[in-house]
Amino acid sequence: MSFFSQAPVEIEIKFDGEEARQIIDTKDKDKNTHHLAPLYGADETVKGSVIIRPRDGRKVEHTGIKVQFIGAIEFKEDKSQPNEFISWARELAAPGEVRHAETYTFEFKNVEKQFESYNGLSVKLRYFVRVTMFRRMNDIVREKDLWVYQYKPEPEGTAMVRMDVGIEDCMHIECEYSKSNFHLKDVIIGRIYFTLVRLKLKHMELSLIRKESVGVPPNNTSQTETVVRFEIMDGAPVKGETIPIRLFLSGFDLVPTMRDVNKKFSVRTYLSFVLVDDAGRRYFKQREIGIYRSSEE
């Protein structure tokens, strides 16, 4: 744990039972840096302690010490404008001075954490505890993140999905897979059936694509990233040929579907089929699939 080296005090934040919790390792894709945060449930109480140690045994005066529990949506292009959708505060100490190490406890009981934590290409949804020591000159601030999972039951309406890929009088392919909603450790089972093939196809690819949208239409912006891409066919198929699909999701960096989170951003996953002919032309079809985090995982 690092401290603010220029501050006259060291501030350390500890969560109760942190050592027994699952630790989530997240990565900032733009900076290629990792962050570790303990995992919490959606309605779980957040409590712990704050340890304040004066440096070099000096006396440090302050005008109050406050602890906050904050849920915020941060935009990586504009970090000066975070959107706080949760902000609870507690006073730890009245104005005074700190002469030696002091420990303060805090508790935010059954705080509702309505969204899942997320660290994407252009947006981040954070939950964190912030401690502020107010001073006449410069306030001293320390933050510590926690990570939140949202567990959900299997959505209704998960019937088999069918898609057609075709060019009139040249090619017609039927794609189908077992259902439209999958949990993060599920398996996509399906098949691709060729009913008409008059093109010289070279190979076929299957991809999982994540699309992150920020803002509200028509002023929204989107970024996409390919989670996984692999070849499922090499060579020219014939009419009547069937290619089975069996895709295990547990090995990929997927996140649950997020729709209009606090009217700020959305995250969706698409299953994409791409066919390439011997001239290099690409024919594709994609469809959104729902991803959710099951409590049975």
Query: Cα torsion for 43, 44, 45, 47, to the nearest 10°?
Result: -140
CA 194 to chain CA mean position, Å: 37
Q: Which of 161, 180, 185, 163 is nearest to 172 (CA)?
A: 163
pTM of the model: 0.87
Q: Would 168 be classed as within a structural domain? A: yes
Q: How confident is the model at residue 63 (pLDDT cuts 50, 70, 90)?
A: very high
Percent of the chain residues topping a pLDDT of 70: 95
Bridge partner residues of 203 (DSSP): 234, 276
Q: Per 3-state DSSP, what percentage of the chain is helix, strand, and coil (rounded to 5)?
A: 5, 60, 35
Bridge partner residues of 11 (DSSP): 52
Which residue has 């898609």 as its token pair?
A: 163
Assign residue 57 a region: left if phi > 0, alpha if psi is -120 to 50, beta otherwise?
left
Q: Would 154 be classed as within a structural domain? A: no
Q: Which of 151, 153, 128, 152 is nearest to 141 (CA)?
A: 128
Q: How confident is the model at residue 108 (pLDDT cuts 50, 70, 90)?
A: very high
Helix (H, G, I), strand (E, B) or coil at 250: helix
184 plus 53 within the same structural domain: no
d(CA 91, CA 133): 10
Helix (H, G, I), strand (E, B) or coil at 238: coil
130 plus 238 within the same structural domain: no
- The pLDDT score that the predictor gives to residue 30 is 62
Q: What angle do CA 197, 286, 181 make, to 5 degrees?
A: 120
d(CA 135, CA 61): 7
Q: Would 85 be classed as within a structural domain? A: yes
182 plus 277 within the same structural domain: yes
57 φ, ψ (degrees, to nearest 5): 70, 15
Number of H helices, E strands in the chain: 0, 22
Q: Would 99 be classed as within a structural domain? A: yes
The answer to whether the beta carbons of residues 97 and 244 sit under 8 Å apart is no
Residue with the larger pLDDT of the pair 214 and 154: 214
Instruction: Give the structural domain span for 15.
Output: 9-149
Is the confidence at residue 87, as pLDDT, over 90? Answer: yes
Rounded mean pLDDT, 226-230: 92
Top mean pLDDT of 79-83, 223-227, 233-237, 241-245 is at 223-227
143 plus 15 within the same structural domain: yes
Query: Which CATH number goes with the domain that contains 57?
Result: 2.60.40.640
Is the confidence at residue 172, as pLDDT, over 90? Answer: no
DSSP 114: -
DSSP 98: E
220 plus 250 within the same structural domain: yes
Instruction: Out of 121, 149, 177, pick the residue that ends a domain.
Output: 149
Both tokens of 133, joined, read 């020591």
208 plus 122 within the same structural domain: no
63 plus 181 within the same structural domain: no
Instruction: Out of 149, 182, 215, pick the residue that ends a domain.
Output: 149
Is the confidence at residue 112, as pLDDT, over 70? Answer: yes
138 plus 175 within the same structural domain: no
Bridge partner residues of 68 (DSSP): 89, 130
Q: Would 219 be classed as within a structural domain? A: yes
Instruction: Out of 90, 122, 149, pick the residue that ends a domain.
Output: 149
203 plus 140 within the same structural domain: no
140 plus 182 within the same structural domain: no
Q: Would 53 be classed as within a structural domain? A: yes
Q: Would 199 be classed as within a structural domain? A: yes
134 plus 230 within the same structural domain: no
- The pLDDT score that the predictor gives to residue 26 is 84
Q: Which of 123, 15, 11 is nearest to 69 (CA)?
A: 15
**Structural domains counted in the chain:** 2
Omega prior to 237 cis, within 30 of 0: no
- 43-47, 132-136, 159-163, 209-213: least confident range: 159-163
Q: Would 44 be classed as within a structural domain? A: yes
96 plus 125 within the same structural domain: yes
Is the confidence at residue 99, as pLDDT, over 70? Answer: yes
Which residue has 């005074």 as its token pair?
A: 96
Bridge partner residues of 209 (DSSP): 226, 270
Helix (H, G, I), strand (E, B) or coil at 80: strand
